[in-house]
Amino acid sequence: MTGTGDHEGLRLRRTKSVTRAEEIAKAEQMARKSQPDHPCHRPRDSLFSWSSGFDNFTGFVNWGFLLLGIGGVRLLLENFIKYGIRVDPRQWFLFLSGKNYDGNEYPSILLICFGAMYVCMLYALLFLKLWSYVQVNMWCRLSVKSKNTSHGGMRRQSFSYTDLLASEAKQNGSDSDETRHEIDGGGKALVQYPDNLNLSDLFYFMLAPTLCYELNFPRTQRIRKRFLIKRILEVVVGCQVVMSLFQQWMIPSVKNSLIPFSNMDVAKASERLLKLAIPNHLMWLCFFYLIFHSFFNLMGELLHFADRKFYCDWWNANNIDTFWRTWNLPVHRWAIRHLYLPVLEMGYSKSVASITVFFISAFFHEYLVSVPLKTFKIWAFIGMMGQIPLSILSKYVQKHWGDRWGNIVVWASLIIGQPLCIMMYYHDFVVTHFGDALLEDYSVV
């Protein structure tokens, strides 16, 4: 009888509801606290266990930044001890001018101001801007013609800028407020085609920090003087920082990587690659802030250009595809508006449109490197086309291991890919223009 009663009591306890079980647990806990031994233990998981639910690792993030900073300072001190102070503004002028060391070449004033790569970049920007200018005016002309002829069944030839932003908002997951435009502060009437076809409108577009032409850009009402001064100081100081990093840190690292890379010494070449990765990545980050935030905001403020969204949070990108959609919005908008959507309108698939965009981007990357170096190699082209399989890989990693690992793949590609491309082009440049004699000179260093 006693055994049966105990069994029935046990059965009744198992059938208690969850709420009743919690009440019993709380009652037991209160009873434990009232005991004279003052208990301090209760069922708990270790913080590093997934079941603990703990997710505040801010201290480790600070530790990582501090450790990275200490490592960077150590490398900087090593650089100063080994090479001394290499920063020389006079050499900056020679570098930007493209002047040869023998003194026989005197470049034009344009080359003195911009340098070979900057001139090529200027030509590329003019090409993209004029492409947009011509195509948008063609859309407007066809729209006016279709209205005049009343051909309701005419095939649609263009996409409005609102359609473009709505498409971007859908791709990037942003809110629909991106599709709204401000009316300029003066309350002026919107310019209609063909009243926009004048030199002042074209010159404004050539200077505006955008590659996509519009008849009516969103405008600000005034120039904020304090904001403008901050951006000017950032541009001036940023240029000095970038050039100093290049001259003091990158040039010695690139030169020292020549012999191991030429001899295919994998261990030493890998060590030089990792050593070059830190100053290169730091300079790339400074360059990004200098161009996409400081300089573009400076031009936008001077021109009353209201759309200041030149980049998104690319540092949080969980795959390569998201990175290329968010880190350079002026180029991305141009590619979507004038390449991707028109290719889709022609009846091709999204895959063909994406490959077309990457192909054109790869061409311009190769143009901006090979032409200034006066050597035709396809490393930049291959690197850009390689973003397609890398995008597939990063999405696979994101899907199976989570967003954090997808973001790590993005950062790894940026940190390692760029210095590898630099080492390859520098090696080919030296071999092409100076031959093996310079390799022997560098082997002594």
Q: Would you please indicate which residues are annotated as catalytic (active-site) residues?
A: 365
Residues whose CB is less than 8 angstroms from the CB of residue 319 and which lie 6 or more positions away in sequence, other chains included: 391, 394, 395, 397, 398, 406, 409, 410
Q: Counting Cβ atoms within 10 Å, is residue 75 exposed (0-12), middle (13-18) or buried (19+)?
A: middle
Look at residues 196, 202, 184 and name the one whose alpha carbon lies nearest to residue 306: 184
| CB of 321 closer than 8 Å to CB of 336 | no
Q: Is 310 helix (H, G, I), strand (E, B) or coil?
A: coil
Taking the C-alpha atoms of residue 273 and residue 426, their distance in angstroms, rounded to an integer, is: 13
Spell out the long-range contacts of 192-200 with Cβ–Cβ below 8 A and sequence spacing 24 or more: 193/137, 193/140, 193/141, 193/143, 193/144, 194/137, 194/140, 194/141, 194/144, 196/137, 197/137
| CB of 35 closer than 8 Å to CB of 41 | no
Taking the C-alpha atoms of residue 316 and residue 326, their distance in angstroms, rounded to an integer, is: 10
- Tokens 């730091």 belong to which residue? 282
- Tokens 């480790």 belong to which residue? 60
Q: Is 325 helix (H, G, I), strand (E, B) or coil?
A: helix
- Residue at 239: amino acid letter: C
Quote the distance between the C-alpha of residue 81 and its chain's center: 34
